[in-house]
Amino acid sequence: MPEEKDWFEYYRIKRLGEMSCPLSRMSGCAGMLPPRMEPSKPLRIVHYLPAITLAEGGVPRSVLDFCTVLASRGHSVTLLTGDSSDVPNWSGPNQPKLVNLPSPPGFLDLLPGTSLQKVGEVLNDADVVHLHAPWLASNIQLARRAEARNIPYILTTHGMLDDWSMAQSTLKKKLYLRVAGARLLSEASAIHCTAREELRQASKWFSNPNTAVIPILFDVAPFESLPGAALAQEHFPALLRPEPKVLFLSRLHPKKGPEFLIDAIANQSVQLILAGPGDATYKESLRSRVESLKLQDRVTFTDLVTGDLKLSLYQACDLFVLPTSQENFGLVLPESLACETPVITTRGVDIFEELTEAGAIIVDRKVESIANAIRIALSDREGLKELGQRGRAWVFQTLDPEIVASQYEKLYHRVIGNGREIATRLSSSKSSDVR
């Protein structure tokens, strides 16, 4: 690996050749029995997440993409949730069905009886259940009800068993695993991770051999025809200034490291856009940091940005920087790449190795490293343009939803086939006992 000062040149020259990151490098299955059903039959798939609120980060976004893409391929997809605040207005053929639970999870994050009754009604017409995040007690309730109906369930960990994540509130998480979480993991028909690096870290916390590594389902449709930079420039006047533009678009949270980015641009002539929701106290501390460094005319704060305005904001900026401590797939990273905006991020992202194939610049989570990477990248405008083109091509090739969705279909069919075989064996065993 080259020295840090040479990173940009390394990625520009060595990585700008022919695309060399096929999907197979990002995916794989282990511990799974051979498939017993052809993946041509439409499936009845249920996804569950207690709340679909985009301000909470990437998990709600990824669940929406799961539902949208799978439904577009002819499957009957139902989204169960207790809070549908940011669910699109789905209607018409080949779109998911939204089922709002009467009440969201309450005490101890458990669903009340009225919601569990609705869950049961939905599961009565399901082939497979897809659960998200290992720390939701309501997931255990759905898993038990799925098992009672001989319906397999898949659990996507979303990076929540990564080393960094497990180092936060460790005792609480270990207690949860001991009391109930370990069973949720061990009895899942498959544990799904979105990157091999995520599986490597997560597997320290479960013994279930049935695992699958498949990239997150990323809906590329909104990125096929981009809106252009003008829309964002109308909303954010700082984008019309002559300096290069650096974008941070994520939750404003210490985990994401916006303070590192503020310090990194302190001695550079750039405009920094900090876009995202966050705790009021923490946001105020960031504003105070900006004031203490006398950067008020070079840092713009804005809240959650969505839709075409978000895509336009990516396009209006020269670089996207996410100095994160930990990220699973980090949906904002492929979003930026799909908009031809090059990315700087850290090894805290589970897919950092794959991102280098897209021309992403990977740095240590240190102010000096981030500052140097920004400076070097912005010094070569032609190289920056090439990185943007490479990133967009990588997203549309490697994260092609048609290819990725087919891998999920195979996984669903596989666990359904395995579940039916087990149910048949149990039924035969009971019949023998009666005789």
pLDDT surpasses 60 at 36: no
pLDDT of residue 45: 98
What percentage of residues in the chain have a pLDDT greater than 90? 83
pLDDT of residue 20: 38
More confident residue, 418 or 270: 270
pLDDT band at 32 (very low <50, low <70, confident <90, very high): very low
pLDDT in tens, 271-312: 999 999 999 999 999 999 999 999 999 999 999 999 999 999
pLDDT surpasses 90 at 433: no
pLDDT surpasses 80 at 422: no
Q: What share of the chain is helix, strand, coil (3-state, %, to 5)?
A: 50, 15, 35
pLDDT of residue 92: 85
Neighbours of 339 (CB within 10 A): 25
Backbone phi, psi, residue 129, to 5°: -115, 135
* Average per-residue pLDDT for the chain: 89
Average pLDDT value for residue range 173-182: 96
pLDDT surpasses 60 at 33: no
pLDDT band at 107 (very low <50, low <70, confident <90, very high): confident
pLDDT of residue 56: 85
What percentage of residues in the chain have a pLDDT greater than 70? 87
pLDDT band at 108 (very low <50, low <70, confident <90, very high): confident
Positive/negative CA dihedral, 205, 139, 78, 82: negative
Domains and their CATH numbers in the chain: 31-217+401-418 (3.40.50.2000), 221-398 (3.40.50.2000)
Look-up: residue for tokens 């001989």?
A: 150
pLDDT of residue 14: 39
Helices 381-398, 7-14: inter-axial angle, 10-degree rounding: 60
DSSP string across 328-366: SS-THHHHHHHTT--EEEETTBTTHHHHHHTTPEEE-SS
C-alpha pair distances (Å), 379 with each of 8, 19, 71, 319, 375: 10, 25, 45, 12, 6
Positive/negative CA dihedral, 119, 120, 125, 128: positive
Average pLDDT value for residue range 101-125: 94
Helices 7-14, 367-378: inter-axial angle, 10-degree rounding: 50
pLDDT in tens, 325-349: 999 999 999 999 999 999 999 999 9
pLDDT of residue 282: 97
- From the list 170, 91, 181, the residue with the least C-alpha distance to 131 is 181
pLDDT surpasses 90 at 199: yes
Look-up: residue for tokens 């966050």?
A: 278
Positive/negative CA dihedral, 34, 38, 44, 45: positive
Q: In 3-state terms, what secondary structure has residue 238? A: helix
pLDDT of residue 355: 96
pLDDT surpasses 90 at 237: yes
pTM score of the predicted model: 0.85
pLDDT surpasses 60 at 150: yes
